[in-house]
Amino acid sequence: MDSITQGVLGAAAAQAVLKRRLPQGAGWIGAIGGMVADLDVFIFSFNDPTVGWTYHRHFTHSLAFIPIGGLIAALPFLWLKRFKDQRAAVILAALIGYATHAPLDMFTSYGTQFLLPFSNVRIAWDWVGIVDPIYTIILAIGVYLTARSVQMRPVRIALLLSSLYLCFGGWQHHRAVEVQRQLAAQRGHQIEHARVMPAPGWLLLWRSVYVANGRMYVDGVRVPWFSAPLVARGGSADVTTMDDLPAAALANAETRRRFEIFRWFADGLIAPIEGEPQSYGDMRITAEVESLLPLWGLQLDVAGQAQRWSPPLGQRRDVGRALQALLFGDPRFKPAQAIE
């Protein structure tokens, strides 16, 4: 999730365990521990987009790296005089904060390589968006109330409620998956591969993507908390594989390498970008939940070289429209039975 939420969760977990041992420091140390793993965003290349795709949520997000990451997060505090007699507690608070980071990211759709170095599988449960203000606010209230007192009850209640909210995300995901299956059945499709992913918000808007007969079908699903789901019909496109690339790209070993990493990163959900010649997008995360306009992809030049593709500024996610859909609904969404 976003780094602010990661920091708040790290603070909450450290407070819940060490508030009495570190009354003035547990929250801050846990917060730093909760955010440090995202320093991997500084591992990138201006010339090779696959570097960022590979190394964000890579080794810093792995189970094996938690002891190292926790120690790194603790280092700035170990040199402070106020903690000279509490260094073991400082390290523990940083470890607790750091350990919360990757598990929370696994609930999102981006994917986290939690099992490195034993496996490079990107674990993504698709239960919560990368930004969810309700989840963040619940934790922030608990952290604030506990910071102002010696009581750990507020933050422990916040951790319980926020965990229940994540479980509610699992239920909402299940409901959206059922809608996806209904849509595929109505169209006479046998699903070969599918994802249903939450949009940023509060578990209302979901993106349905499934593959049938080599073609990708996309729909937006609105899952109100207390009423029946609705659907906004999207579109479809042929799934792009290595064999679909032009001859110049196939003859270029570096392009083949980059496309293979891109395919792994995008979970195979790659399709041509409409209106963009020789451009292929990651169709997991797009400008609108029902659209075929991705937020990133690969673009090939005439020589078959592959570079990162990003949408023009005017075509990127309309935050105002998304917020309106979250708050007031959207007439594009209709009962699933009415969708072809």
pLDDT digits (tens, 9 = 90+) for 255-297: 999 999 999 999 999 999 999 999 999 999 998 999 999 999 9
Q: Tell me: pLDDT of 68 over 70.
A: yes
CA gap 123, 255 in Å, rounded: 26
Alpha helices in the chain (DSSP H): 3-18, 26-36, 49-55, 66-78, 87-99, 101-106, 133-147, 153-186, 247-250, 253-265, 319-328
Per-residue pLDDT band for 314 (boundaries 50, 70, 90) equals low
CA of residue 322 relative to chain centroid, distance: 17
Mean pLDDT to the nearest integer, 122-143: 97
Per-residue pLDDT band for 130 (boundaries 50, 70, 90) equals very high
Pick left, alpha or beta for residue 304 (phi over 0 → left; psi -120 to 50 → alpha; otherwise beta).
left
CA gap 267, 317 in Å, rounded: 22
Mean pLDDT to the nearest integer, 321-329: 76
Q: Tell me: pLDDT of 324 over 80.
A: no
pLDDT at 230: 95
The 10s digit of each residue's pLDDT in 200-237 is 999 999 999 999 999 999 999 999 999 999 999 999 99
pLDDT at 284: 95
Amino acid sitting at position 104: L
pLDDT at 282: 97
The 10s digit of each residue's pLDDT in 39-48 is 999 999 988 9
Across 142-151, 180-189, 326-335, least confident range: 326-335
Coil, strand or helix: which one is 56? coil
SS (H, E, C) 274-302: CCCCCEEEECCCECCCCCCCECCEEEECC
pLDDT at 256: 96
* Contact by Cβ (8 Å): 95, 70: yes
* Of the candidates 320, 290, 332, 113, the residue with the CA atom closest to the CA atom of residue 196: 290
